[in-house]
Amino acid sequence: MVSELRVGDIMTKKVIVASMDDTLDKVAKTMQKYDIGSVIIVDDKTGKHAKGIITERDIVHKVIAKSKDPFKTTVEQIMSKPLRVVKPDTALEEAARAMKENKIKRLPVVNDDNELIGVISEGDIMRIFPAIVDIIEERAALK
């Protein structure tokens, strides 16, 4: 492997979530408020178990383009599922590969009890990419 970095090393720990019975207008306002492109959907019982994800693309393609009412459409009706998740000890390269193969930009991070503890995005990986290049160059110089 190129590096020993794990998902837990760079994941975003403060995850913005919504419950399955929230309406799309509420989720869109949440996205705007926090300047984010997606919201993880959790069960409304504990708020810990990720059930799906809503992205800006979902809102455009599944609500606006289909003339659905965002004030009446619930998150559960359009969220993307099943949700692909990773564990915090997953190698960063493996997470990046999963994103590429599944054509997704974000992966929720769950613990051994399947509770949501973070999220990792392409942006998170790209932010640390220069450091990974430095590590590769340093290792190459040692050989």
The pLDDT confidence band at residue 122, using thresholds 50, 70 and 90, is confident
The yes-or-no verdict on residue 139 having pLDDT over 60 is yes
pTM of model > 0.85: no
The DSSP bridge partners found for residue 110 are 116
Return the pLDDT at 43. 84
The Cα 102–Cα 100 span in angstroms is 6
Query: Domains of the chain by range and CATH?
Result: 7-142 (3.10.580.10)
pLDDT per residue as tens digits for the range 33-73: 999 999 999 986 667 888 999 999 999 999 999 999 999 99
The Cα 23–Cα 45 span in angstroms is 17
Residue 14's CB is within 10 A of a number of other CB atoms, namely 7
The yes-or-no verdict on residue 1 having pLDDT over 50 is no
